Copies of this chain bind each other. A is one copy, B any other.
Amino acid sequence: MGRWEPDAAGRLREAAMALYAERGYDGTTVAEIADRAGVTARTFFRHFADKREVLFAGSELLGQDMAAALAAAPADASPMEAVTAAVLASAEFFDDLRRDYSRRRAAVIASTPELRERELIKMASMTTSLTDGLLARGVDPDVAALAAETGVAVFRVSFERWIAAPDDVPIADVIRSTLKTLSALTA
């Protein structure tokens, strides 16, 4: 056993989720989160850049996975087909185990403008990943930007629908359905 309990970051994440859900984001201080995790506030800020980030750590991974799927798409796939592959790849992040956690987390985020802002910028960074991936495939810049934006819009809408859907609906199905809606929309 080390000088301190291991996984301070994990304890901080759990403490934050619990307190945000219980007293709300504004009603929670960083000192309280740190206390519950058994560390000091200074340590909180060594693990997370700010009070919001504790709910979003690791979210880069999702963007990376999607970018990887995009890169792995057949060379002759159209931009939108490649983006579709990327969005479908996101489904693996949200297996049924995470569904309940996702719901609680989404509820907290939805109730606090500051957290909504942070979520939006994560989505924007996802958009950037996809755009870069498309550019690497030789796609025209304007097309790439638009295809990426559209792809993330599909992800966002699908995720929301999935959260609200019954437990036995897999997210991949929701995504496919959203993609269908999109093509009907612009037909």
Residues of A within 8 A of B (CB): 79-80, 113, 116-118, 120-121, 123-124, 142-143, 145-147, 149-150, 153-154, 156-157, 160-161, 178, 181-187
Q: Is the interface of A mostly helix, strand, loop or mixed?
A: helix
Q: Are A183 and B186 in contact (CB under 8 A)?
A: yes
User: In the complex, what distance in Å separates the CA atom of A184 from the CA atom of B161?
Assistant: 27
Q: Are A157 and B178 in contact (CB under 8 A)?
A: no
Question: Shortest Cβ distance from A31 into chain B, in angstroms?
Answer: 22
Q: Which residue of B lies closest to A120 (CB)?
A: B120
Tell which of B124, B150, B185 touches A79, judged by Cβ atoms closer than 8 Å.
B185
Q: Which residue of B lies closest to A174 (CB)?
A: B142
User: In the complex, what distance in Å separates the CA atom of A184 from the CA atom of B150?
Assistant: 13
Beyond known contacts A146-B154, A146-B181: 17 more, CB 8 A cutoff: A79-B185, A80-B186, A116-B121, A117-B118, A117-B120, A120-B120, A120-B121, A120-B124, A143-B184, A145-B157, A146-B182, A150-B153, A150-B182, A153-B153, A183-B186, A185-B186, A186-B187
User: In the complex, what distance in Å separates the CA atom of A117 from the CA atom of B121?
Assistant: 6
User: In the complex, what distance in Å separates the CA atom of A28 from the CA atom of B168?
Assistant: 51
